[in-house]
Amino acid sequence: MNASDVWLPFAPDTVPGLPDGFDYRTWDGEDSYPADPADCAFYVVPYMKGAEVSARPLAAMTSVRVVQTLTAGMDHILPGAAALGPGVRLCNARGVHEASTAELALTLILASLRGIPGFVEGQRKEEWRSGFYPALADKSVLIVGYGSIGAAVEDRLAPFECARVARVARSARATERGPVHPLTELPALVAEADVVVLCTPLTEQTRGLVDAEFLAGMRDGALLVNVARGPVVDTKALLAELETGRISAAVDVTDPEPLPAGHPLWHAPNLLVSPHVGGSSSAFLPRAKRLLVRQLERYAAGEPVDNVVHTTA
């Protein structure tokens, strides 16, 4: 390999164990580049800086061989991949976000069912809002998108005495926990679920997957939780359904995002919003840095890198 530059979004001296033999450059989306992009062999995409920033140097990265994201999804980088030459491996951050995102998914489920947003409001107003609230115990849960994050969500559901956990992915397969159903069976499974958790990546197949028909198929009183991507859900259809009071929702991602001031989602009834923090926790940096060290060690040794989602043609 001729080019030896590695672009990292954080200082290399903060990443223990980086292999020798590379010239490490720090770039986290600033206007100016730390070096000539043409000399970059391994590009680690800045975290949560948006598609425009992520893709900005790609056309000039004529020597790049690996593009490594620090996100589970690749939707922000795939459009820019058209500017790359052939044979560039695009890798996601499988193994980095499972713990943190699954933890938030469970938080959103429990907070919504047990009425925590109402308790916070009641505390501010000095109102004692006692009563009976739904529990996660005995509920039927549907996980839509059964990759590593979906499986991590199920791991954390295990102690909560759910009546049933069903799984959906692009294609059917068997797991130790039970069958994974194909997307074609989604309507029947949605109708049986008390809680629907969206963990699917954003693709052309999943964009707008949760539309008016999907939402109408949810049972009365059901909860929709989105820790996937905002455009997986049709925002207008969700707002219309929430206004009826028939279902509730908790979302870590929105469309548009960031959610602008004055947007109706801010004040929609029966909705809990968190600001896309599923992966942004104290669990992120240690796992991200361990992933980068492993990937760069494999690359330096001429071994196949892990987590390859796409190779440019």
DSSP 8-state class, residue 142: E
Mean pLDDT of all residues in 49-72: 95
Angle at Cα 295 formed by Cα 291 and Cα 297, nearest 5°?
A: 120
Mean pLDDT of all residues in 109-120: 98
Mean pLDDT of all residues in 63-92: 93
Please state, for a pLDDT cut of 70, what percent of the chain lies above it: 99
Q: For the domain 98-273, what is the CATH code?
A: 3.40.50.720
E-assigned strands of the chain? 5-8, 23-26, 40-44, 66-68, 89-91, 140-144, 164-169, 173-175, 178-182, 195-198, 223-226, 248-251, 271-273, 308-311
pLDDT digits (tens, 9 = 90+) for 219-276: 999 999 999 999 999 999 999 999 999 999 999 999 999 999 999 999 999 999 999 9
pLDDT, position 19: 97
pLDDT, position 1: 46
Residue 295, H or E segment: helix 284-300
pTM assigned to the model:
0.91
- Give domain 5-96+282-311's CATH superfamily: NAD(P)-binding Rossmann-like Domain (3.40.50.720)
Q: Where are the domains of the chain?
A: 5-96+282-311, 98-273
